[in-house]
Amino acid sequence: MAVRIRLARRGRKKRAMYDVVVADARAPRDGRFIEKIGVYNPNTNPATVDINTEKAFDWVMKGAQPSDTVAAMLKYRGILMRKHLQIGVNKGAITQEDADKRLADWLEAKQGKIQGKTEQLASQRDAAAKARLEAETKVKEARAEALRKKQEEANAALNASEEEGAAGEEGAAQEGEATETAAE
């Protein structure tokens, strides 16, 4: 029986999540499996890979063949590196302590890279938010300036019409007086 470590899809349309399962190679993708060893969520950035490393390592050492995607995840989590080192220990090429030290150093470096990417994404997100705020402020100021100019024009037009009206009333009053004096 060929055993594979592969993904089983779940979740809703366009928001898929995957279970990392150990299954018979002949079983359907979302069908029967031997054991669930983790979860993979590609919807986050960086993608969330939560695998039980002990179970995955045990299955890989027993000869379970990972699919291409799962192999990339196992490599990302250091399980394939651990297998490589364990084979060296079994052959007597290195000691177990040396293998553990190499694995710990590798995992620490990998965790640093992951942390760096997470911080970079956070800083980019903050910079984008700041840029959006500045752009929004510029638009707001431009609208306020346009509204102020429009208000000034309206006030100037109102003042001009009031002056014309006042001048017209004075002229009408003078005409009225002249008409009254002429009528007398």
Confirm if 82 and 103 have CB atoms less than 8 A apart: yes
Confirm if 40 and 55 have CB atoms less than 8 A apart: no
CA 158 vs CA 51, 99, 128, 147, 170: distances in Å: 75, 88, 45, 16, 18
Q: Give me the residue spans of the domains in the chain.
A: 3-94, 96-184
CATH topology of domain 3-94: S16 Ribosomal Protein; Chain: A; (3.30.1320)
Amino acid 28: pLDDT? 85
pTM > 0.85: no
Q: Which three-class secondary structure string do you get for 51-111?
A: ECHHHHHHHHHHCCEECHHHHHHHHHHCHHHHHHHHHHHHHCCCCHHHHHHHHHHHHHHHH
Amino acid 32: pLDDT? 87
Amino acid 169: pLDDT? 65
| pLDDT block averages, 10 residues each, the chain of length 184 | 89 92 89 92 87 92 92 90 90 89 91 88 92 92 91 85 72 60 59
Amino acid 60: pLDDT? 93
Interacting residues of 49 by C-beta distance below 8 A, sequence separation 6+? 38, 40, 73, 76, 77
Amino acid 57: pLDDT? 93
